[in-house]
Amino acid sequence: MNEVSVRVATPADAHLLSVLATTTFPLACPPSTTPEDIAKFCESELSPDAFSHYLETDSYRLWLAGVNNEAQGYLMAVAGNPDNPEIAHAVAMRPTVEVSKIYVYQTHHGGPVAYALLEAAVEWARSLGAASLWLGVNQLNERANRFYLRNGFAQVGVRSFLVGTSWEADFVRERRLEV
């Protein structure tokens, strides 16, 4: 198995992150999500301009994971307590960091890429003094839900998540961080 390298993304990576994101995001959507809604979400949230904004915002941190010097996945984390009342009620520990996006090319599902990205986010959250990480994951995404459960994310609530014009049902999961 080839070794996974993880590095913090820079503004020069906005286009690469967008390519990764728009290729991998549809893999996490339930079959009921229309291609039109996926395209709308990708255009507004996963474009190079959107990633440029994320990379220029202090509360955001993005990582790229590579195998053989080729990007295979990314993770975006956001420091700060949730604004959404549904999520704020579900996530118990403060301060917290959101794992906003973690996506890996399908050829690397089940391998070490996602684990390496998650470990980078855990270390960053700890460096900020966070007590937990939280995330939202589609309720029908069984593979992702198993991954998060194996990595200590307990289901603590639910939220609605807008993809294009469609509201999707997500589990809210939280992982306690040992300091």
What CATH number corresponds to the domain at position 107? Answer: 3.40.630.30
Q: What is the tens place of the pLDDT at every residue in 45-93?
A: 999 999 999 999 999 999 999 988 888 999 999 999 999 999 999 999 9
Domain count, the chain: 1
Q: Which of 63, 46, 135, 52 is nearest to 97 (CA)?
A: 135
Q: Domain range spanning residue 171?
A: 4-176
Question: In this predicted structure, what is the pLDDT of residue 179?
Answer: 63
Burial of 161 (0-12, 13-18, 19+ CB in 10 A): middle
State in Å, rounded, how far the first CA of the chain is from the last one: 31
Other C-beta atoms closer than 10 Å to the C-beta of 146 total 10
Question: In this predicted structure, what is the pLDDT of residue 1?
Answer: 52
Q: Rounded to an integer, what is the distance from CA 28 to the centroid of its chain? A: 11
Measured CA to CA, the distance from residue 28 to residue 142 in angstroms comes to 10
